[in-house]
Structure formats: structure tokens, C-alpha cells
Amino acid sequence: MKEDYSSKSTVEEIRTRFDNDVERFSNLETAQQTVIDAQYCLEIITEAVSYLTPKAKSLLDIGCGAGNYSLKMLRKIPQLSCTLIDLSLPMLLKAQERITKETGGTVNIFQSDIREVDLPEEEYCVAMAGSVLHHLRDDSEWELVFNKIYRALKPGASFWICDLVVHDVPAIQQLFKDNYGDFLEGLGGKDYREKVLAYIEREDSPRSVNFQMDLMKKVGFRHVELLHKNACFAAFGGIK
């Protein structure tokens, strides 16, 4: 049965929310406060990239926000040329400002939806998507985006995701939803728990790690790797 996404936030609503939240997203501590193990996930992904492709020259940062992900990568592999994509122009401009100070490579920005942007083929050494793909909706959108990213990568390049995930078995999904609720309540109390869970229900449509790793294989990635998972957050990727 086809899922109904009509009650979900529109692209414009998502863009507006991020336009008004640049300051918070310019700080890794506050930007990812609701993400379990956020800093470790970014650390292990960027470390994996530095082991796989230590001579990487180009980075594609999808849903770059204020640039935290690219800045983390530049600490491992300096002088990368960075291509930044985000819905929010204020976010992009902040990311461009911050990243330009840290690399001698080029910094190109595109205000666009990853579903719509045209990417060159075999251009990038690494692609990263931090807390963004959960905004994709039906299967066709997921496959479109994964195909697009695969084609944009050079042979031997890699694509890494750090994101909210769901679980395919309903009882297990409820288990981890309850665990995440407890985590949120520990951060800010019961009202904060309900606020964040309601926001996720309204705005996000995440998929399972199994779904995404299977899709990576389907579009052509030779290897897939799960680097870390804690409750309903995971870091994983594919190598072309």
C-alpha cells in the first residue's frame, strides 16, 4: 500500500525552519543535541574516509547546514575542494564563510533540493549526508537520490550517511522509539520529549539501515559498511 505523505512538512516549510536556525547549527554541540552519538558518528565517518581515500581531493556535502560536517572532514584531509548543497541560503552562506577559512581548495555552493540539483558524473572523491536524507519521502525519491550520488562519485569513492533510522519490525521500532524518548526526556524533560517526537512525526520520513544499505547495493556500490548504530541513529556507507 502506498504511504500517504500529505501531512508531512513541505520543502518550503523545512527551508524556512533552517533559514531561522543558522546560529544553532553553526555549533556542533547545539546543532546535533537531539542526535544520539552525533560527534562520534561524524568522527568515525571522517576517519573511515581518511583511511579509504587519504588523497581525496573533492567532497560533496549534501544538506551541509552551517558546514560542521565538511569542517570535520577537513581536519582529517586538508585542502579539499568542497561542494555544498542545502535548501537554506543563510545556511549555505555561513557554511561557505566557515569552510573557506579552513581550505585552500574551492568552495562551491548550491541552494537546491538534492532531488532536483544536477550533479556532474564521476566528480567527487567522497559524498556525505548528515541528518538530511530522512526528508526524502517515497521509494522513488530514495532511489533517484542514491542513483544520482552514485553517478557523481569517482570509482573507489565513498558515500556516507549519518542519520535517524527506523526499524523494519514494528516491535523493535517501538523499542527504540521508547528508548529515544527516554534520551530526549533526559535532555529536557517530558515536554521536550513530546515536542521532538511530534516534530519528527511531522517533518521526517526516515528509512531503516537495511533499506538504505540494500539500496546502495542496488544502485551499484561494491561494498557497504555499518560503522555505528545506537538506538535509532546510525552511521553507514557504500564504496563505489
Query: Does a structural domain hold residue 216?
Result: yes
Query: Does a structural domain hold residue 65?
Result: yes
Torsion 137-167-66-143 (CA) sign: negative
Is residue 162 left, alpha or beta, with left meaning phi > 0 and alpha meaning psi from -120 to 50?
Answer: beta
Longest alpha-carbon distance in the chain = 50
3-state secondary structure at position 140: helix
Per-residue pLDDT tens digits for 138-174: 999 999 999 999 999 999 999 999 999 999 999 999 9
**Are the beta carbons of 86 and 63 closer than 8 angstroms?**
yes
CA distances from 79 to 94, 105, 209, 224 (A): 19, 5, 32, 27
Query: Does a structural domain hold residue 60?
Result: yes
Query: Does a structural domain hold residue 185?
Result: no
User: Tell me, what's the pLDDT at 225?
Assistant: 98
Query: Does a structural domain hold residue 6?
Result: no
User: Tell me, what's the pLDDT at 172?
Assistant: 97
Query: Does a structural domain hold residue 2?
Result: no
Q: Cβ of 15: how many Cβ atoms within 10 Å?
A: 19
The residue range of the domain holding 91 is 11-166+205-239
Per-residue pLDDT tens digits for 4-22: 898 989 999 999 988 888 8
| Total-model pTM | 0.95
| CATH number of the domain enclosing 221 | 3.40.50.150
Residue-wise burial string across 134-147, b where 16 or more C-beta atoms lie within 10 A, e elsewhere: bbbeeeebbebbbe
Query: Does a structural domain hold residue 3?
Result: no
User: Tell me, what's the pLDDT at 19?
Assistant: 84
**Are the beta carbons of 152 and 234 closer than 8 angstroms?**
no
Q: What percent of the chain clears pLDDT 70, i.e. is strictly above it?
A: 98
Query: Does a structural domain hold residue 184?
Result: no
Q: Provide the number of structural domains found in the chain.
A: 1
